[in-house]
Amino acid sequence: MRVLLVYPPARDASKPPIGICYLSSYLRQKGHQIEVLDLTAGPLSEDELQKRIEGFHVYDCIGISAIITAYNFVKDFSGKVRKKFPNIPIMVGNAISVSCPRTLLENSAVDVIVVDEGELTVAEVVENIKERKNFINIKGLWFKDEEGNINRTPPRERIKDIDSLPRPAWDLINMSVYIKHSSAYLDRGIRTGWISAVRGCPFRCEYCSRSFGNKVVNRTANSMVDEILEFNRLFKSTHFQMLADLFMANPKMVKSFARCLIERKVDITWECTGRVDLVDEELLLLMRQSNCISVSYGIESGSQKILDNMDKRVTVEQAKRAIELTRKVDLKLKTPFMFGYVGEDRESIADTVNFIKEMKLGSTVLFFSTPYPGTPLYGWAREKNRIKYDEDTYLSLLGNNADKFLVNLTDFSDEELLKLKSDTELKLRRILPFKVKVEKYVIKRAYHIKARIVQLGFIGTVKKIVTKIMGL
């Protein structure tokens, strides 16, 4: 079978479509011919995309790997394909499948939605297309039958041994684009690599949509290290992002991974996601000794009330302790914060500002709390009539405005909430040390700075940057 896998255009090319690469490799192993249309690494105009679609007659099946913000693309693209080729099956997977399967099937030309892990399920779908069978006996699907009725099959059991899956088919995408757009490359000229390390997250934060569910399946340390070495050989990458909902979900596995890097003398740096109640000094020190350089903690708020509303099941004191321990072993921190969560008031905002100030968190990111379909927060927002649109309309708006203010979850008016966020960001900028301001400015504007140096020279560029930062 000849299968086309499509990756929608994204706002930036900082991370490759690793899921597609794993899936492609597995389907190849099953004897299928796989091609990838990567619209992030190789964007096309509307006319160019339409011309590509004209040639889709050679494919037996088309799959789209999409996150929820690609909802509009999935609708538009599937409609164009269906108009030209009524009989080519179109399937969709990745995070969007967990969030809104019914709405997507009702409002698009998509035939099949693959829920959770894709490898085994997609392979069975492709085989059923080949044999012209019905999908009703395939676990882990939502699909439309010939009469247009929507069907849901039982969930598929998790893949217990993800080490057994073949290595990603990196040859199907233009990796140089992603390497050159990674933050490490833009900041320090270092080539980045990516490893899918852990599937699942055991925690149930109210705002979070988990692609792989709550059961955690870990890879073995040697398997991850082997893949790192292979990636390094192929692309000369020396810094790696360990991709996972929560890499440190199992501290024992993280220790094993760190020891393996040390014992095998692997000369790379790496970063990962963590959780403040799972770390201790022994773990962090071992990570640092294995050349981990950064940990991202989803702290979200400096208010215990808000953390409890999120069902984070952590305390502010645990967050402070984790930050102190992380700094003690000389690891960098990434600490995103939410603004405007359920129950947010002036006191909770002040708690967050004071927390950031006390802990000297110079690289803080503050973003609006947004309810995503499929999460408890979204269910609450619907129940309380905080979302003013039907789900199809809301998803369409979300696709274009995921980083903007869409839903007011607080008791403030919209105008009050927007002003409070602006005022809070101003306070945070004022408390940042000058050194941190410089670092943030340079990292965020690396490309522009390079162009300025060509235009104004080094000294002229430095003067302009200092003038700009002093005004922050």
Answer for the pair 270, 296: CB distance below 8 angstroms, yes or no. Answer: no
Q: Looking at the structure, do residues 335 and 467 belong to the same domain, yes or no? A: no
Q: Looking at the structure, do residues 98 and 200 belong to the same domain, yes or no? A: no
pLDDT at position 447 over 50 = no
Helix, strand and coil in the chain, % to nearest 5:
50, 15, 35
Q: Looking at the structure, do residues 421 and 451 belong to the same domain, yes or no? A: no
Q: Looking at the structure, do residues 428 and 448 belong to the same domain, yes or no? A: no
Query: What is residue 131's predicted lDDT score, i.e. its pLDDT?
Result: 81
Query: What is residue 272's predicted lDDT score, i.e. its pLDDT?
Result: 96
Q: Looking at the structure, do residues 319 and 258 belong to the same domain, yes or no? A: yes
Q: Is residue 225 part of a domain?
A: yes
Q: Looking at the structure, do residues 301 and 448 belong to the same domain, yes or no? A: no
The number of distinct structural domains making up the chain is 3
Supply the pTM of this predicted model.
0.87
Give the tens place of pLDDT for each residue, 121-130. Answer: 999 999 999 8
Angle at 8 between CA 380 and CA 296, to 5 degrees: 60
Query: What is residue 365's predicted lDDT score, i.e. its pLDDT?
Result: 76
Domain that holds residue 464: 439-472
| pLDDT band at residue 218 using 50, 70 and 90 as cut-offs | very high
Phi, psi angles (nearest 5°) of residue 223? -65, -45
Strand 269-274 relative to strand 150-152: parallel, antiparallel, unpaired? unpaired
Q: Looking at the structure, do residues 65 and 97 belong to the same domain, yes or no? A: yes
Q: Is residue 145 part of a domain?
A: yes
pLDDT at position 289 over 60 = yes
Q: What is the mean pLDDT of residues 11-37?
A: 94
Answer for the pair 278, 308: CB distance below 8 angstroms, yes or no. Answer: no
CB atoms within 10 A of CB 199: 22
Both tokens assigned to 335: 């600490």
Q: Is residue 290 part of a domain?
A: yes
Give the tens place of pLDDT for each residue, 147-206. Answer: 889 999 999 998 989 999 999 999 999 999 999 988 888 777 899 999 999 998 999 999
Q: Looking at the structure, do residues 422 and 459 belong to the same domain, yes or no? A: no
Tell me how far apart the terminal alpha carbons of the chain are, to the nearest angstrom: 57
Burial of 178 (0-12, 13-18, 19+ CB in 10 A): buried
Query: What is residue 452's predicted lDDT score, i.e. its pLDDT?
Result: 53
Both tokens assigned to 206: 């109210």
Answer for the pair 91, 113: CB distance below 8 angstroms, yes or no. Answer: yes
Q: Is residue 24 part of a domain?
A: yes
User: Which run of H or of E encompasses 402?
Assistant: none
Domain end (from 105, 136, 152)? 152
Q: Is residue 378 part of a domain?
A: no
Q: Looking at the structure, do residues 299 and 328 belong to the same domain, yes or no? A: yes
Q: Is residue 173 part of a domain?
A: no
Q: Is residue 330 part of a domain?
A: yes
Instruction: Calculate what percentage of the chain has a pLDDT beyond 90.
Output: 76
Q: Looking at the structure, do residues 109 and 255 belong to the same domain, yes or no? A: no
Q: Looking at the structure, do residues 34 and 111 belong to the same domain, yes or no? A: yes
Query: What is residue 362's predicted lDDT score, i.e. its pLDDT?
Result: 73
Q: Is residue 159 part of a domain?
A: no
Q: Looking at the structure, do residues 74 and 219 belong to the same domain, yes or no? A: no
Query: What is residue 430's predicted lDDT score, i.e. its pLDDT?
Result: 74
Give the tens place of pLDDT for each residue, 341-393. Answer: 999 999 999 999 999 999 998 767 789 999 999 999 999 999 999 998 999 99
| pLDDT band at residue 460 using 50, 70 and 90 as cut-offs | low
Query: What is residue 14's predicted lDDT score, i.e. its pLDDT?
Result: 86
Instruction: Calculate what percentage of the chain has a pLDDT beyond 70.
Output: 90
